[in-house]
Amino acid sequence: MNKNDCFTSSKVNFKKRLNATTEARLADHRFGVSALAREMEMSRSTLHRKVKEAFHESASIYISHKRLERARQLLLDKKISVTETASLCGFHSVTYFDKCFHDYFGYRPGETGKFGFETKEHSSAEKYNLLKKWFKS
């Protein structure tokens, strides 16, 4: 095993651990970068650097991205309401969830069944700019 294989392996392990940790805590609306850093046993700045390197987005945007993707999946399953989905994905306000979801996917959460996976996917840069805009409002 050469040096690059070790680096790739640790990067893959970091991504898996980050995804698992984040997925497990998405329902907690207080879960954010500080809590994620604590659970990943690293400083906020180290977490931010590693997330930026692995996903090309900040840690807070990474968490929001995961929440919205989980919400979309729950809504596609059509087993729970928009209000329940917002709560299960860590959004304290249904109105804010509706706004974020619409900005990210281009349609309202209640319309998810109509669109499913046939909607235009945003590029990483578009997703980053949309999420960055939310944090400024």
Contacts of 27 (CB under 8 A, 6+ apart): 87, 88, 89, 90
Q: Give the pLDDT score at 59.
A: 96
Supply the pTM of this predicted model: 0.76
Closest by CA position to 62, among listed 16, 22, 105: 22
Distance CA 81, CA 45 (A): 37
Series of mean pLDDT values for 10-residue runs along the chain (137 residues): 58 92 94 96 96 94 95 88 95 95 92 62 60 58
Annotated domain spans of the chain: 3-136
- Strands (DSSP E) found in the chain: none
The domain covering 3-136 belongs, at the CATH homologous superfamily level, to: Homeodomain-like (1.10.10.60)
CA 128, 123, 99, 35 torsion: positive or negative?
Answer: negative
